[in-house]
Structure 1
Amino acid sequence: MSLSRVEWLERHQIVIYLAALVLGAVAGLVLPGGASAMELAIYPVLGALLYATFLQVPFTALTRAFRDVRFLSATMVLNFVVVPVVVAAAIALIPLPQAVLLGVLLVLLTPCIDYVIVFSGLAGGAHQRLLAAAPLLMLAQMVALPLLLVLFMGPGLADIVEIGPFLEAFLILIVLPLGLAWATETLAPGIAPASGSPP
């Protein structure tokens, strides 16, 4: 895909997302019996989408992130100290059912890194430095998320999350696409994004 097409897709991504939602709703209404077949496509489609997303993360720039100690320290403190404190204050003010709380925590405690980079670039922030730190941030989120969920939800987490399906989804939708993206960037360095532009 040429760079101009990628830029076009990024520029019109909101319209594309809305069109996909409408198309999915129409397909569900017109073909209600096709739910079982479509369900089988969930993992492959999500895996492919996450692989494409992970390809935009410059894993080969990981060593550069470690050299930027001040920026990396500030980013880690913000992500894993400040944000959890703010989230704790927010959920203390607004009681939520356990299942809803889980979804809220997943979104707030592990914000989408690629969108953070894009928004930082649009705001004139240090998106190049954030781009270099993205692989480390992603790995840190993966390690910290289970610990944070247990901290916020306590024993009640086991009542709404089954470990088996959770691990299965984690391996198929996170570890496998992440490993394939890393291998792709290692074997074909030219596929990694330019360090000057956010994904």
Structure 2
Amino acid sequence: MIAWLEKHQIWLYLAALACGAVVGLGMPAAAPALEVAINPVLGLLLYAAFLAVPLNRIGQGLRDLRFLGVLFALNFVLVPLVVWGLTRFIAADHVLLVGVLFVLLAPCIDYVIVFSHLAGGASERLLSATPLLMLGQMVALPLYLWLFVGTEFVRSVDFAPFVEAFVLLIVLPLLAAGLTQFAAARTAWGRKLEAIVSAAMVPLMIATLAIIVA
């Protein structure tokens, strides 16, 4: 069953997106409950993703200065230039502009880790760089908003959700994955838990995509 899920995961993800859209459009009253479910299911997905990464080796990523340099140049130099060019045609609509800027300038790093892992990318090194990338986003985003939108809007932004997301969707799943790996190396129940959670990766991704779209 697990092998079948992994083989057909792309089509399953597309089906999840479609199902989420159908539920969201057909049952708008379910939106509040679905919104509450987003963080728990995303936290579980990240727990499963982090569990697949050998956490005892993540420190190696922080010593790879070339990788970090490319990562920061891409995220904080090249991407903002591209975003600035892409958003000029909506610059007059500040509400729409701000939404697009938040999505493109501060994308969810946790999703990047999950998809990089699924694609066989450098998820370990990305995981190592996650705290630095999130701190970089929190520092750079006000500057970009000031440059693209203006001072008045920057003063009205509440950055508390960034801190909350860092704790709930990075720190806690990462800590849980580390404790699970520690237990799996020493106990039978730990190995069983690790196997169960790892097998749930694709179903958790399906649930996450469906719930967020809905």
**TM-score bucket of the superposed structures, by smaller chain:** 0.5 to 0.7
Aligned partner letter, 1:153: L
Which stretches in structure 2 are left out of the alignment for 5+ residues?
Answer: 186-190, 199-214
Contact kept in structure 1, 2:83 and 2:104, CA below 8 Å: yes
Report the number of matched residues: 180
Deviations 1:55-98 (A, max 9, x none): 34443222322444434433333333333343344445652644
Deviations 1:99-124 (A, max 9, x none): 433443344334624435666x6xxx
Structure with more contact order per residue of length (Cα contacts < 8 Å, sep ≥ 6): 2
Contact kept in structure 2, 1:51 and 1:181, CA below 8 Å: yes
CA 1:92 to 1:27, structure 2 compared with 1: closer, same or farther past 3 Å?
closer
| Offset at residue 150 of structure 1 (A) | 0.2
Q: What TM-score, normalized to structure 2? A: 0.61
Residue of 117, 123, 133 corresponding to 1:131: 123
SS at match of 2:91: coil
CA 1:34 to 1:183, structure 2 compared with 1: closer, same or farther past 3 Å?
same
Structure 1 distance, partners of 2:128, 2:182, is: 16
Contact kept in structure 2, 1:60 and 1:186, CA below 8 Å: no
Match of 2:140 in 1: 148
Is 1:176 the counterpart of 2:172? The answer is yes
Structure 2 distance, partners of 1:153, 1:114, is: 27
Structure 1 distance, partners of 2:62, 2:75, is: 16
Structure 1 distance, partners of 2:75, 2:31, is: 38
| Offset at residue 170 of structure 1 (A) | 4.0
CA 1:151 to 1:92, structure 2 compared with 1: closer, same or farther past 3 Å?
farther
Where in structure 2 are the equivalents of 1:17-166 lying within 5 Å?
A: 17-28=13-24, 31-92=27-88, 95=91, 97-109=93-105, 110=107, 112-116=112-116, 127=121, 130-154=122-146, 155=151, 156-159=153-156, 161-166=157-162
Aligned sequence identity (%): 40
CA 1:117 to 1:86, structure 2 compared with 1: closer, same or farther past 3 Å?
farther
| Offset at residue 137 of structure 1 (A) | 2.5
Q: What TM-score, normalized to structure 1? A: 0.65
Contact kept in structure 2, 1:46 and 1:173, CA below 8 Å: yes
Superposition CA RMSD, Å: 3.6
CA 1:182 to 1:98, structure 2 compared with 1: closer, same or farther past 3 Å?
farther
